[in-house]
Amino acid sequence: MSVKPESASDLFAGPFALGTLSTVDGPAFPALVDPEGRALDLRAALADPSLTMRGLLEQWPGVLPRLHALAGDAALAWRPLSDFRVLAPVEPRQIFQSGANYRQHVIDLHVAHRDPADGRSEEEARAEAAEIMDRRAAEDLPYVFIGLPSAVTGPYDDVTLPTWAAKPDWELELAVVIGRPAFRVSSAEALDHVAGYTIANDLTDRATVFRRDMPQIGTDWLRSKNAPGFTPLGPWIVPAESVGDTCDLRLTLKLNGEVMQDESTKDMIFDVARMVSYASQSARLLPGDLVLTGSPAGNGMHWGRLLQDGDVMDSSITGLGAQRTRCLAEEA
């Protein structure tokens, strides 16, 4: 049993958003959602019975004017969102994930993990870390790795914490949804390939980030980030034109009602355009793919409080709505 949101529609920017819905026993379908909490089945509205969200995104931006026209048509067969289950808004073929992309977060990590023999004050260590971050933003490249689509789950679904995950943690992130194929695009071109944005929570088991048997080989993202349900996604894809400037969106995550993460995307070291451009230099980005842009300060390791059975996370990003996720411990 998943935890339902307090409001079915949740506030999002613009005249409409996109979602993937289903009835209790019916197939998933792409829907247009309006701010009044109503949904329109796009299979019927666009006369395509087999339409999926990914299929819709493959028609972007040509389909966008049609969506605007549908959103303003009160005579269509709109239904209350409460009639449906809200699923992850898209099934991506590829997920590109980013680490160490929020300045304050990385500075905190730099200070927390400095050599115990380092005799400098915390202020001096922070100043050094800040200088490194500024140089990195100006001269270096984003840190991007690959996630599995099988880890994606809906925005209100329960997430099972595996028995082997000793330190499960949260990572609220702005997720970019690709709308046009992108390969070796520049930063100046990158945003032309973005259909919209959604919310992702990139759950991570901190205990398995580094292999115990051979830590020198580096990070083990397969083990630590890709358990089923470890990427709650959605609820909506909000078109890029409605979101506007992504350089000052507020990310907020509450754990059992207590604020844990509360930061602006202005703290990102590499902005959306640079992230999309960088990923496209090595891989061909496809419609429906996701580019996760990193998580700000305030993860569980910072607070010394990791996810436990029964915990509820409420996550929101300006203009994108909100998701609610309950954690359940896997039975031994």
Query: Is the same domain home to 215 and 307?
Result: yes
168-185 per-residue burial string, b: 16 or more CB within 10 A, e: under 16 = bbbbbbbbbbbbbebeeb
**Structural domain containing residue 197:** 95-105+140-329
**Residues 37, 79: contact at Cβ < 8 Å?**
no
Query: Is the same domain home to 134 and 213?
Result: no
pLDDT at 65 over 50: yes
pLDDT at 4 over 70: no
Average the pLDDT over 191-212 and give the result: 95
Burial degree of 302 (CB within 10 A; 0-12, 13-18, 19+): middle
DSSP single-letter state for residue 106 = H
Dihedral sign from CA coordinates of 75, 80, 83, 89: positive
Query: Is the same domain home to 58 and 111?
Result: no
Name the amino acid, one letter, at 292.
L
- The pLDDT-based confidence of 10 (bands split at 50, 70, 90) is low
pLDDT at 148 over 90: yes
Query: Is the same domain home to 129 and 197?
Result: no
- Tell me how crowded residue 234 is: count the other CB atoms within 10 A of its CB: 29
Flag whether 8 is in a domain. no
pLDDT at 1 over 60: no
Q: Which of the two residues, 131 and 161, has the higher pLDDT score?
A: 161
Last residue of a domain, one of 87, 115, 149: 87
Flag whether 7 is in a domain. no
Which helix (H) or strand (E) segment holds residue 128: the answer is helix 122-139
Res 103: pLDDT: 87
Res 6: pLDDT: 45
pLDDT at 5 over 60: no
Query: Is the same domain home to 56 and 120?
Result: no
Helix 103-112 vs helix 122-139: crossing angle, to nearest 10? 140
Model confidence pLDDT, tens digit, residues 260-270: 999 999 999 99
Flag whether 101 is in a domain. yes
Give the phi and the psi of residue 80 in degrees, each rounded to 5: -65, 140
Flag whether 147 is in a domain. yes
Decide: helix, strand or coil at residue 122: helix
User: What CATH number should be reported for the domain holding residue 303?
Assistant: 3.90.850.10
Closest CA to 255 of 184, 187, 291, 305: 305
Percent over 70 (pLDDT), the chain: 96
Res 8: pLDDT: 43
Counted domains in the chain: 3
Decide: helix, strand or coil at residue 78: coil
The whole-chain average pLDDT of the chain stands at: 93
Q: Which of the two residues, 130 and 50, has the higher pLDDT score?
A: 50
Query: Is the same domain home to 115 and 189?
Result: no
Average the pLDDT over 253-274 and give the result: 97
Closest CA to 83 of 19, 163, 24: 24
Res 110: pLDDT: 72
Alpha-carbon gap, residue 6 to 317, rounded angstroms:
16
Flag whether 282 is in a domain. yes
- The pLDDT-based confidence of 139 (bands split at 50, 70, 90) is confident
Cα radius of gyration (the chain): 20
- The pLDDT-based confidence of 66 (bands split at 50, 70, 90) is very high
Model confidence pLDDT, tens digit, residues 81-109: 999 999 999 999 999 999 889 988 878 77
